[in-house]
Structure 1
Amino acid sequence: MSWLPVPPTSEHQVSSRDQATGRVDRVVVKKAERRLYLMRGDQRLRSYPIALGFSPKGHKRREGDGRTPEGRYVIDWKNSASRFRKSLHLSYPNPADARRAAFRHQAPGGMIMIHGQPSGHRDAQPIEGDWTLGCIAVSNPAIEEIWSLTSTGVPIEILP
């Protein structure tokens, strides 16, 4: 089962370097609000409008369903050579997601990212509506800022 993730070995701790540089200690996504929040403690540092998967209601159940997952994950790697303007990979599926999908004899999907607009998108405005395959899309200026303020290991909570 190659799609099973390697769970993080420890809970993310905000380093003194991250605190000094203004980096965030968690990300919160509120799907119903179509907003992504960068947080440090209980303080909202930044807020961005988002686009979700093309079928956004409910938790992602299987590959290809167009849903954006709900739950707790971490940013586990970054890709500056993405087919989108930068991307941050989320640790979906977690073990519970993988078990649920396996129980239904389905692949849970993967490659869930926070990313900017497609590389070929020349318009200054982001694509409207929910258009991703399950990812969280933001404007190109937003992904640049999110990229600079987050590091791998930062937890992300995706709420309905």
Structure 2
Amino acid sequence: MALATVGGCGSAEPSQQTETDDSAVVLPIIPAGTKADSILVDKSDRTLILYKGDEEIARYGNIRFGDTPEGHKRFEGDERTPEGRYTINGRNPGSRYHLSLRISYPNAADRAYAEARGKSPGGDIFIHGQPNGREGAPLASDWTDGCIALSNAEIQQIWETVPDGTEIYILP
């Protein structure tokens, strides 16, 4: 299902998907048809792990975050990646980045915190690949507005393995 969004890392601007050169990326082997039922993101270790039950089915390292990676996202424009429990609640094959899976940020607590301070919590937080049209290796430093970025090959594999409704836990 394509999502129409207005801002954030995974903004929907219909565009042609382009592969980047991520030939050095070694993908985990996931048996065909395997579907994850939870995701663990550890910001301090820069890992994203897919689980089916208690079994780890794939691990991705060296993931990238918002320009301000430490701390929980509180407000629109703070360039932080959220921390806490969310779900994958949509997918966008036509975003400005190679594929994007929407994270359900903000939740009720995030909205209440921002509202109590007269601010917007922001939104449009995704797991996605590299910017469309980018050539060469994946960007080497934190560069998103709060999203979680991987290589195009990695997001392709995650896209195929993670259904909508999958729980995602993002640790500091």
Both proteins in one fold, TM over 0.5 = yes
Cα deviation digits, residues 2-54 of structure 1 (max 9, x gap): xxxxxxxxxxxxxxxxxx92100101100000110011112111111210000
C-alpha distance in 2 between matches for 1:65 and 1:46: 30
Task: Say yes or no: does 1:42 pair with 2:54.
Answer: yes
2:147 maps to which of 135, 140, 160: 135
Which residue identity lines up with residue 119 of structure 1 in the other structure?
A: N
State the superposition RMSD in angstroms: 1.3
Which residue identity lines up with residue 22 of structure 1 in the other structure?
A: T
Which residue identity lines up with residue 43 of structure 1 in the other structure?
A: E
Partner of 1:111 in structure 2?
Answer: 124
Which residue identity lines up with residue 48 of structure 1 in the other structure?
A: Y
Task: Give the secondary structure class of the aligned counterpart of 1:75.
Answer: strand
Runs of 4+ in 1 over 3 A off after TM superposition: none
C-alpha distance in 1 between matches for 2:69 and 2:120: 18
C-alpha distance in 2 between matches for 1:115 and 1:133: 12
Structure 1 unaligned segments of length 5 or more: list them. 1-19
Task: Say yes or no: does 1:60 pair with 2:68.
Answer: no
Cα deviation digits, residues 90-125 of structure 1 (max 9, x gap): 1000000000000010000100000000002111x1
Which residue identity lines up with residue 28 of structure 1 in the other structure?
A: L
Which residue identity lines up with residue 67 of structure 2 in the other structure?
A: F
Higher RCO, Cα 8 Å, sep 6+ = 2
Partner of 2:161 in structure 1?
Answer: 149
Cα deviation digits, residues 54-110 of structure 1 (max 9, x gap): 001110010000100000000000000111000000100000000000001000010
Higher helix proportion, which one? 1
The residue correspondences of 1:1-12 to structure 2 (distance < 5 A) are none
Task: Give the secondary structure class of the aligned counterpart of 1:101.
Answer: helix
C-alpha distance in 2 between matches for 1:130 and 1:33: 14
Which residue identity lines up with residue 99 of structure 1 in the other structure?
A: A
Which residue identity lines up with residue 100 of structure 1 in the other structure?
A: Y
C-alpha distance in 1 between matches for 2:79 and 2:33: 36
| Count of residue pairs the alignment pairs up | 141
The residue correspondences of 1:69-108 to structure 2 (distance < 5 A) are 69-108=82-121
Task: Give the secondary structure class of the aligned counterpart of 2:113.
Answer: helix
Aligned residues with identical type, % of pairs: 49
TM-score by length of 1: 0.86
TM-score by length of 2: 0.80
